[in-house]
Structure 1
């Protein structure tokens, strides 16, 4: 059974999170100053993610890149920043990655929900992901998916 992630650190700055994450042995997400350990995945979750990645890989428009949950997505909202690890996401264009492990400006974000993460996925993440997608130039994926 997959359990919901638990908060492990009280509020920290974005810089403190990035420093902490660079040496951590497990991945953490960052939201409004809180650092949360990532929940472990199940076999079904992994199968769904791999199938989606395989399907998308051969069908991406030029200048688009496909990432899995090993790549962090930085989402900037008005005064807040969050860092998430979507199961599958795509970014398009010529802009370089923020860092080797972080990108921005997603054009497609897929989060495979489970019972343990459903509440967070349907509330916080959907709002953040909608903001992230606003920066995408829709011409890249228009009519593709």
Structure 2
């Protein structure tokens, strides 16, 4: 199902954007006075993001344990 675009002024102040955005059904992004509609997230997208974050965290944790200042004798 598609939603019709809500009319908006071509350029908004941050305060005007927050007031306008609070009345909208869809999510929007504000950048330099312009407003852009954002897509909604999906469960597969959330799964991918969580999996990537978990892999990065595990890799960084191993790296910090192997190469951190405590291992090099400068520990605190």
Q: Return the TM-score normalized by structure 2.
A: 0.48
Greater fraction of residues in helix: 2
**Higher relative contact order (Cα pairs below 8 Å, separated by 6+ residues):** 1
Greater fraction of residues in strand: 1
Instruction: Pick the structure with greater CA Rg.
Output: 2
